[in-house]
Amino acid sequence: MTASSAEETAMRDAIALAARALGETSPNPVVGCVVLDADETPVGEGFHAYAGGPHAEVVALRQAGVRARGGTLVVTLEPCDHQGRTGPCSQAILTAGLRRVVYAVGDPSDRAQGGGRRLAEAGLSVESGLLAAEAERINAEWLTYARLRRPHVTWKFAATLDGRSAAADGTSQWITGAAAREDVHRLRARADAIIAGSGTVLADDPRLTVRGFEPHDHLRTHRRPLRVVADTRARTPLASRVLNDEAPTLVAVAEDAEASALESTTAVVRLPRARSGRGLDLSALLAELTEREIVSVFLEGGPSLAGGFLAEGLVDRVVAYLAPTLLGAGAAALGDAGVATLAQAHHLDIDDVTTIGPDLRITATVRDRPAPSRREN
C-alpha cells in the first residue's frame, strides 16, 4: 500500500510541526505528528516540545481522542518502543485503536527502535519512508548523534565575497550587518554547544552567548548553550568574557598543559593532542561532548580550528554569511583543511540561499568526506 495524498499532506504538516521545537528537545529528536480519522480528515496534531515532555504521538492522540479509532497516525520518526521518562509510543498507538501508521524515518537508536515492527506484528498497516529526505533534514542533528555517536557539527563563518574574514590589519568587526548577526544568534540558540578556539578568544574576547531576539513561543527564556574553548596550551585569560556567568563554559586543554589557574575558575577537560602535535584531538573533543549529551555543535572558532574539523571529516553543515564587500587581502575564512589537490576537495550540497539584510546566507550540507589527512590541527 502506498501513501495517500492526505497522508503526504499530513507528513508535510508533521515536518513543519517538528521544526517548531528545533533546538529545544536535546538529547531527544524533534518529532511532529498528525492523526487522521477513518475518513483521512486531520483530527489531532502535536510535536515533542522538550526533553521529558510528552512525545508528539501522545500529544496528537490526546487531541484526537476517540476520533483516532480506525484512523491513521502520520509521524516524522518511527514511534519509540521503550520506557524512558515517558511510556512507549507504540503502546499508546495500540491503545488508541488506530489501523495504520506512516512514518518517515526509522529510529536508529538502540533503545527506542522497533516500534514499527511491534505495531506491524500487532496487525496494524505500517509504512515507512514517506518524505524521508525532508524529515531527515529537519532532524539532522539528532540523527547524526544517534547514528555516528558524536554531535552534529555546523561550521559558521562570515566573510567578504572574496573569502576574507578580516582585513590586512586584522580588523574584522563587523564584516556582516546587524540582520546577519541576529540570525547567527537564532542558530546559536538551536545548538547545545558553541565551540571557539583560543585564538578567537584572545583576538576578539567573544561572549559566545545567545541574545538579541525573542525565544520560541513555548519558551520564556533563551537557551544557554555550553561554551567550549579549544585551548591546547591553556592560554584563555581569566578575565575573558567567555568565562563569565552568562552561560556554562568548558575549556578543553592538552593533557600536559599547565591549567591550574583555569581549573580554579571554570570546568576544564584534558584531552590528547592531535597526532601532529598541533592542536587537540578533535574526535576526542567530540567524544567528550557526546558523554555530556551534546547533540549539536555550532563551530565559530577561527580558520585553523575550522580547517582541523574539516580535515578530520567532522563538519556536517556549513553556514556562510557573505557580505557584498571586497578586501583583496587579509585573513582567509578557512585554514588548512587537509586538501592538497582538487580531488581531495570537500564537496557540499547547497540547501538554501537567503538574503539576510544586505548580506547573503548560504546553508550547505557536506556531501562527502575525504579520508582524514595525516595532518591534524
Strand partners, 33: 46, 75
DSSP state of 371: P
Could you say which of 57, 127, 141, 312 is catalytic? 57
Cα–Cα dist 316/368, whole Å: 9
Q: Are 19 and 143 in contact (CB under 8 A)?
A: no
Upstream peptide bond of 29 is cis (omega within 30 degrees of 0) = no
Give the sheet arrangement for strand 317-323, strand by strand. Answer: 267-271, 249-254, 226-230, 193-197, 296-299, 152-160, 317-323, 359-366, 348-356
- Torsion over CA of 37, 102, 138 and 18, rounded to 10 degrees? 30
3-state helix, strand, coil in the chain (%, to 5): 30, 25, 50
57 as an active site residue: the answer is yes
Provide CB contacts within 8 A for 288, sequence distance 6+: 252, 269, 271
Q: How far apart are alpha carbons 227 and 246 in whole angstroms?
A: 10
CA atoms in the 13 A half-sphere facing the CB of 81: 16
| Cell reading at 10 | 499530513
Give the distance between the most distant pair of CA atoms in the chain.
70
Cell of 223: 537557551
What's at 61, amino acid-wise?
L
d(CA 296, CA 274): 22
Q: What is d(CA 305, CA 311) in angstroms, rounded to the nearest whole number?
A: 10
Residue 296 CA to residue 326 CA, distance in Å, equals 32
> Which residue numbers are catalytic?
57
